[in-house]
Amino acid sequence: MTKRFFTALITFIALSLPATAQDAAGDGLHKQPWFMDSFLEFGDDLKEAAAEGKDLLIIIEQDGCPYCRELHRVNFARTEITDYIQAHYLVVQLDLYGSRGTVDFDGQELEERDLVEKWGAQFTPTTIVFSREKAGAASAKDAEVFRLPGYLKPFHYLTSLEYVTTGEYKNQSFQRFLKAKITDLDAKGIHADVW
> Domain ranges in the chain?
25-152
How sure is the predictor about 27, in pLDDT bands with cuts at 50, 70 and 90?
A: confident
Residues 66 and 30 sit within 8 Å (Cβ to Cβ): no
pLDDT tens digits along 55-67: 999 999 999 999 9
DSSP string computed for the chain:
--HHHHHHHHHHHHHHSPP--B-TTSS--B--TTS----SBHHHHHHHHHHTT-EEEEEEE-TT-HHHHHHHHTGGG-HHHHHHHHHHEEEEEEETT---EEE-TTS-EEEHHHHHHHTT--SSSEEEEE-GGGTT-SSHHHHEEEEEES---HHHHHHHHHHHHTTGGGTS-HHHHHHHHHHHHHHTTPPP---
pTM tops 0.75, yes or no: yes
pLDDT tens digits along 105-147: 999 999 999 999 999 999 999 999 999 999 999 999 999 999 9
CATH topology of domain 25-152: Glutaredoxin (3.40.30)
Which pLDDT belongs to residue 25?
54
Output phi, psi for 115, to 5 deg.
-65, -45
d(CA 25, CA 160): 30
How sure is the predictor about 194, in pLDDT bands with cuts at 50, 70 and 90?
A: confident
